[in-house]
Amino acid sequence: MHKIEMPAWATAHAVERRGKEHIYDNLDPRKTALVVIDLQNGFMDEAVAVSYVPGAVDIVPNVNRLAAAVRQTGGKVFWIRNTFDETNITTWSTYFEAVTPEKRARAIANMAPGTRGHELYPTLEVKPEDEIVNKYRFSAFVQGASELPERLRAQGCDTVLITGTVTNVCCESSARDAMMLNFKTVMVSDGNAARTDAEHNATLGSFYSVFGDVMDTDHLIARLEANATPKQAAA
């Protein structure tokens, strides 16, 4: 698990801009979606990893806890799968031209639909009522990357909680774009994983200072339960 240290400048900047530490404490659980980015074998199982992030395994218990709380209080859970296939090579050529032929071949071999690398990590607690969405760019929210924004809006979700890996790549890209599309966006500090503490904390600081909110798993579960209706809380 990362040693989380929010930079003092980020907190100062956020409070100065907003007038308080957390702007989404009063979230509506029924309009909240947990978005789990790329917790797949292709990042968490070294044998098939396209980009191995050892710390991603450590956040699985927090993601499972948060998913359970979101469901119980009336929200939705979306599992996002990073997807590479032959189509990407043409439509996202700038990315594939920037990596070595060996890395390009491994990405296609281990992140295409039907491969073990593309599958969600086995200890994630995916339920039948959850939704699984493939994405074809780093961000799940950028135009043409996935159906996620449309699915969220169709179900009345206006708030997204971002978890997954890699903190400073797909998670950060998704979180920033979600905010740009007018979703209230929270990055979960102990529900994201990067390769180093420095990368993880730098992203949290940058996001918190301008783009949205940052909370940990315990804080979010407490807010979901506090804001749930009595019927939801008792479910």
User: What is the reported pTM?
Assistant: 0.94
pLDDT at 151 > cutoff 70: yes
- The pLDDT, as a whole number, for residue 109 is 85
Contact 187, 171 (CB under 8 A): yes
Determine the Cα–Cα distance for residues 117 and 120; give it in Å rounded to an integer.
Answer: 8
Percent of the chain with pLDDT over 90: 84
- The pLDDT, as a whole number, for residue 198 is 96
Tally of helices (H runs) and strands (E runs) in the chain: 11, 6
Comparing 159 with 96, which gets the higher pLDDT?
159
Omega before residue 166 within 30° of 0, cis: yes
Determine the Cα–Cα distance for residues 191 and 165; give it in Å rounded to an integer.
Answer: 9
pLDDT at 234 > cutoff 70: no
- The pLDDT, as a whole number, for residue 230 is 66
What is the layout of strands, in order, in the sheet containing 131-135? 131-135, 76-82, 32-37, 159-165, 184-193, 213-215
- The pLDDT, as a whole number, for residue 88 is 81
- The pLDDT, as a whole number, for residue 233 is 52
Average pLDDT for the chain: 94
Task: Tell me which fold the domain 12-234 belongs to.
Answer: Rossmann fold (3.40.50)
Helix (H) or strand (E) holding 82: strand 76-82
For residue range 108-133, list pLDDT tens digits in order: 888 999 999 999 999 999 999 999 99
For residue 164, which of 4, 31, 43, 7 has the smallest C-alpha distance? 43
For residue range 165-187, list pLDDT tens digits in order: 999 999 999 999 999 999 999 99
- The pLDDT, as a whole number, for residue 231 is 55
Mention every residue, 6+ apart, whose C-beta is less than 8 A from residue 129.
Answer: 71, 77
For residue range 82-102, list pLDDT tens digits in order: 999 878 878 888 988 888 888
For residue 121, which of 47, 171, 195 has the smallest C-alpha distance? 47
